[in-house]
Amino acid sequence: MKAMTIVKPGQVEIREIEKPVPGKNEALLRPLYGGICGSDLSSYRGTNAYMAYPRIPGHEFSCEIVEIGENDRGFKVGDIVTANPYFNCGKCYSCRRGLVNACMSNQTMGVQREGGFSEYMVMPVERLISGKGLDAKTLALIEPFCIGYHGIQRAGVKAGDKVLVVGAGTIGVLAAIAAKARGAQVWICDVAPKKLEYAMKFGLNGTVLNESPEAFRAAVDSITDGNGFDVTVEAVGLPSTLQNCLDAACFGARVAVIGVGKHNIDLDFTIIQKKELNIFGSRNALTRDFEELIDVVRTQGLDLSGVITNVYPFDEAAKAFEDFSQNAGSMLKVMFEF
């Protein structure tokens, strides 16, 4: 079968590999749609802190079940599903306390282990998640939606909060949508005007174009009457954007850190003490996040299609990654059709 492979930074190939054979309590899946995550793009650029090469990318996907044995989950051949792509060890201190998303030996598909961007893949039945009738494109967006949703939950966002999401990539936009769904007032910030235009399709309260530190500070003061935001969300992974979140936070605010980067930060940490900030790291998501969001999208009729800006056929993997890397300021969710 064919499999997409990031051979090394800047090089993507379609390679022939053995078709997998499902074992006991496993299902053979045929991917339908898959999204390029920010971490996949970082892997392509050589900036992913957790990446080893070569690697089959992909942990955002929808699939059709091709082969499955009897199971107590009710899954059958032909079902459209997604899956929890974060493999935990089940033995470490985090896992023993139920924090399986923060497993000390976590292996995320497409990063620490092979991903799903191939003609077929095998998954444990226990990791499958029913699409409950969502169309395959929307279902492939649930995993990135979960990343933002988990961060919003960690920060305890509630109705009436003023929230600033820094970073209008896919994760940031979906985090903003998740906060809005909880009744918050939500603004989103980025350096790319085109991404801010896309973000406003989802009924957010406003945008902040981060042209300079002075312009950023002026916008924050104008929106919050000089008080700062109740919650800020870092969804980029840069020292400057984390600093933006700390600076824009009000006294006693909650700060959720979702972005992943490789750079150290020179931080005047007294701002954390001075403002008595509550800082929450947010890693991966839980199966219940997937299940809850699928229900939210279905019951609230959320239309996430505006997040998808580009769709490529599977065979054009190299072009898709090159285009996305060169035009990240104008492309939001890049998706493959298998």
Q: Sorting pLDDT into bands at 50, 70 and 90, what band is 2?
A: very high
Q: Sorting pLDDT into bands at 50, 70 and 90, what band is 268?
A: confident
179 contacts 149 by C-beta, under 8 angstroms: no
Phi and psi (nearest 5°) for 188? -130, 145
- Mean of the pLDDT values across residues 167-195? 95
Q: pLDDT, tens digit, for every residue of 228-249?
A: 999 999 999 999 999 999 999 9
- Give the DSSP letter string of 268-323: -THHHHHHT-EEEE--S--HHHHHHHHHHHHHHT---GGGEEEEEEGGGHHHHHHH
- Mean of the pLDDT values across residues 293-301? 93
Higher pLDDT, 324 or 329: 324
Strands 162-166 and 229-234: parallel
Q: What residue type is assigned to position 247 of the chain? A: D
The span from the CA of 110 to the CA of 6, in Å, is 10
User: pLDDT value at position 306?
Assistant: 87
Q: pLDDT, tens digit, for every residue of 149-180?
A: 999 999 999 999 999 999 999 999 999 999 99
Q: What pTM was estimated for this model as a whole? A: 0.91
Encoding tokens for residue 205? Answer: 């309260």
pLDDT over 80 at 49, yes or no: no
The span from the CA of 173 to the CA of 308, in Å, is 11
Long-range contacts of 290-295 (CB under 8 A, 24+ apart): 290/82, 290/84, 290/129, 290/142, 290/143, 290/146, 291/129, 292/149, 293/142, 293/145, 293/146, 293/149, 294/129, 294/130, 294/131, 294/132, 294/134, 294/139, 294/142, 295/132
pLDDT over 80 at 261, yes or no: no
89 contacts 113 by C-beta, under 8 angstroms: no
Encoding tokens for residue 291? Answer: 């299940």
- Mean of the pLDDT values across residues 318-338? 94
Q: Shortest CA distance to 110 belongs to which of 58, 74, 155?
A: 58
Q: pLDDT, tens digit, for every residue of 57-114?
A: 999 999 999 999 999 999 999 999 999 999 999 999 999 999 999 999 999 999 999 9
